[in-house]
Chain A
């Protein structure tokens, strides 16, 4: 077992993990944040996505030991109080959420996209969020939500 310190949503967690433990399992089982989901375990679905030092990462396929000393943001860290972020709100008002299982990863990807590209075209949104599979929404409400938030930020 390896001692590591994960900074998750601004809080430091001293942990002991196996060298092969994934960041996803570590955050779900040891940190106790279950918002990030396991949909495939091989980086095909994106439900487990977290930000590591601002980069979107499929945490199922990232070793916890490698995240030692990194700043990690999970879905639970997108908002620290009762207020939703504009993206979270837009996902709801545009019909971007149905079963909600892909939603955490989708919101992480969308947050990451807008941080690096505040004014994306619809096609840029579609390309940037293609690593997040959704079976419910046909993606329509999600694209509208991201574009809507980006254009409101511009105004």
Chain B
């Protein structure tokens, strides 16, 4: 193990504007003459649109424009399936489908006009039960969808838009001959990213070009979406993201930018949209997917996992968006970071008339891991083995093969286990209403193209121009650390120009925990180009051999000749262009032989996998079912850590989000698929008084084929094993696992009552 060099605490460059209230988020911006937008949403979760009459709304004083599908190009869009239009045309498929949009002088007039739009429907039976409606014979959410463009690997059938399997060896025979077999079935409800900033968009046209300010995590995807749906060249669309008030995946994907751009074009005025909290729950096509998870494991009495079978069903909701790979991702999490001899997992991603699910912090993983890790504890109990010991014997180690034959190198799974056990005090005597639960998990890093420029200013300071996106995690804020190291400068010497599609190179955005992983590499490459230029200039200035030069403390020096130096300031003030650009080589996931698997969508191999063990000490009020998390330990292998404060921040926040998903956060749908709790009173985020002490340990391994300096991603894994660890702690006290997520007080109480025979 190598030790990371000591780095002093780094205050984020956007910190001062954030603590003084002077920073601007999208909703804080206003343009002269701006109008206000409001959407008309579907009146039924599933209905055929017979007629839309906007005449009364248009006639209302103060209304400037009312748009429906008839007013925009008839274009389908979508990430892996092109299944959606800006405005619903033939059908509405969930309660948040946008039927029309209004621009008016005030938000109040816009809201009134939206209500005055008369929509005539032929109401259809809603299809909210995503596991019951997957057959090919029943009613379809998308009747014409065999004509849609889609990724060929999705294996479409009926309402199933994706089927992925993981097959290794002969799971059936191995199960039949296993010494002990354990079967479990778990259900997970939907949940939400729930950033504290509801989304906002402001659009303004200048000539035939539009600028869109948007609270998106993915400005380049937003630009592509606007260009595609409004049939514009991308060069005519500029997306700028002011400060972003959190996203957690829910602001990934192209969403409402084109609606607002279309309204602004129609009215020849700037148009602004600000979501209410209720809309932030109801309208985005991003929430965490509900799942049915069935697992079966064959095991020897000494803890060898000889067979794993599984059947997973995921709720995709009405549209695919970017989430087409979820079936395969869930299947990988039903295996987990374990050595298993034989595997047969089938995973189905189904359309329903519920709100679409899509990326929310480690999509599919927390709920699948919650099921698997509780199942692992059941397996341990069945062979009378301590749950930690079973994991000790089965977690992958260097040289082991994963479920798809991937061979892992330099992997810290077992070390995370031991670290978490030590931090939580595993095995200690506890009061009878307390228990410790553990869970292990994993999550891949995502390689992607990314680019950056670095330029030096006349006074010797630098500017990093990047396409990367800062959603609050500090990933972009940490980029100056990397540039400064290459150039022998200080991080505070750099400004950052970011979140503007006309400035920075294309970037995947704040998704997939990929910013440091990919854009960090790009910034280092760009800084290296600047370094080369500076060395050339200094060699001429100092009349020295280029190879004898070093860059330290803002100077270029001749090694061993203390007097022979030239400052970067001096070189920069010459006015000569000192520019660097970079992207670097994208690390690729290792080749694996997954030829027996169907629905291969790219996650059968985990690039630079992150390994995690979480341990929770909880207290259970058995009479009420109310659980409190008293202490939490999180041990992570995310490779080398570049920005410790930023990385720790991801764990603190991710764990708390995981605790919420474990205990209190769920979107409850009624029988028709309408949300019953679209507000923060009944969608319960954890408060400061609920948050436990969280201890963190990083297992720093200089990881090959990974991000800069041997780093991996950081942002998503902290939520992955959290619900599982809590679930296992609860089960120790109850004597039985709670098989529904979240494990609300009422659900915990119900299990306690069954166990106690009341």
Chain A residues with a Cβ under 8 A of chain B? 28, 33-42, 44-45, 47, 74-76, 78-79, 84, 88-89, 91-93, 95, 97-104, 107, 123, 125-127, 129-143
Q: Are B679 and A42 in contact (CB under 8 A)?
A: yes
In the bound assembly, the distance between CA atoms of A83 and B204 in angstroms comes to 36
Q: Which of A38, A84, A130 contacts B688 (CB 8 A)?
A: A130
Q: B144 contacts which chain A residues (CB < 8 A)?
A: none
Q: Given A42-B277, A140-B652: A135 and B680 within 8 A (CB)?
A: no
Additional 17 contacts, C-beta under 8 A, given A44-B681, A92-B16, A135-B248: A39-B196, A40-B680, A42-B680, A42-B681, A44-B277, A76-B21, A89-B19, A92-B11, A93-B11, A97-B18, A98-B472, A104-B21, A126-B688, A138-B691, A140-B652, A141-B649, A142-B688
Q: B24 contacts which chain A residues (CB < 8 A)?
A: 34
Q: Are A79 and B645 in contact (CB under 8 A)?
A: no
* Interface size range of chain B in the complex: 35 or more
In the bound assembly, the distance between CA atoms of A129 and B245 in angstroms comes to 19
Q: Are B19 and A102 in contact (CB under 8 A)?
A: no
Q: Are B21 and A140 in contact (CB under 8 A)?
A: no
Q: A93 contacts which chain B residues (CB < 8 A)?
A: 9, 11
- The answer to whether the Cβ of B233 comes within 8 Å of any Cβ in the partner chain is no
- The answer to whether the Cβ of B28 comes within 8 Å of any Cβ in the partner chain is yes
Q: Are B15 and A97 in contact (CB under 8 A)?
A: yes
Q: Given A99-B246, A100-B14: A139 and B197 within 8 A (CB)?
A: no
Q: Give the shortest distance, in Å, between A56 (CB) and chain B (any CB).
A: 14
Interface string of B1-44 (1 = CB under 8 A from A): 00000000101101111111111110110000000000000000
Q: Are A74 and B21 in contact (CB under 8 A)?
A: yes
Q: A141 contacts which chain B residues (CB < 8 A)?
A: 649, 652
Q: Give the shortest distance, in Å, between B376 (CB) and chain A (any CB).
A: 26
Q: A125 contacts which chain B residues (CB < 8 A)?
A: 688
- The answer to whether the Cβ of B530 comes within 8 Å of any Cβ in the partner chain is no
Chain B residues with a Cβ under 8 A of chain A? 9, 11-12, 14-25, 27-28, 194-198, 243-246, 248, 274, 276-277, 471-474, 645, 648-649, 651-657, 679-681, 685, 687-691, 694
Q: A102 contacts which chain B residues (CB < 8 A)?
A: 196
Q: B688 contacts which chain A residues (CB < 8 A)?
A: 125-127, 129-130, 132, 134, 139, 142-143
Q: Given A44-B680, A99-B245, A143-B688: A137 and B652 within 8 A (CB)?
A: yes
Q: Are B20 and A88 in contact (CB under 8 A)?
A: yes
Q: Are A99 and B471 in contact (CB under 8 A)?
A: yes
A42, A84, A100 — most chain B CB neighbours (10 Å) = A100
Q: Are A95 and B246 in contact (CB under 8 A)?
A: no
Q: Given A127-B689, A138-B655: A40 and B277 within 8 A (CB)?
A: yes
Residue of A nearest to B194 (CB): A135
Subset of 7 A-B contacts with CB under 8 Å: A34-B25, A45-B196, A79-B20, A134-B196, A139-B688, A140-B648, A140-B652
A40, A126, A136 — most chain B CB neighbours (10 Å) = A136
Q: B690 contacts which chain A residues (CB < 8 A)?
A: 130
Q: Are A107 and B245 in contact (CB under 8 A)?
A: no
Q: Which of A42, A103, A131 contacts B19 (CB 8 A)?
A: A103
Q: Are B246 and A140 in contact (CB under 8 A)?
A: no
In the bound assembly, the distance between CA atoms of A125 and B653 in angstroms comes to 18
In the bound assembly, the distance between CA atoms of A45 and B281 in angstroms comes to 14
In the bound assembly, the distance between CA atoms of A48 and B11 in angstroms comes to 25
In the bound assembly, the distance between CA atoms of A91 and B745 in angstroms comes to 34
Q: Are A135 and B195 in contact (CB under 8 A)?
A: yes
Q: A107 contacts which chain B residues (CB < 8 A)?
A: 19
Residue of A nearest to B107 (CB): A25
Residue of B nearest to A134 (CB): B196
Q: A84 contacts which chain B residues (CB < 8 A)?
A: 16, 19-20
Q: Which of B16, B20, B653, B680 contacts A136 (CB 8 A)?
A: B653
Q: Which of B12, B198, B248, B277 contacts A97 (CB 8 A)?
A: B12
Residue of A nearest to B656 (CB): A138
Q: B653 contacts which chain A residues (CB < 8 A)?
A: 98, 134-138
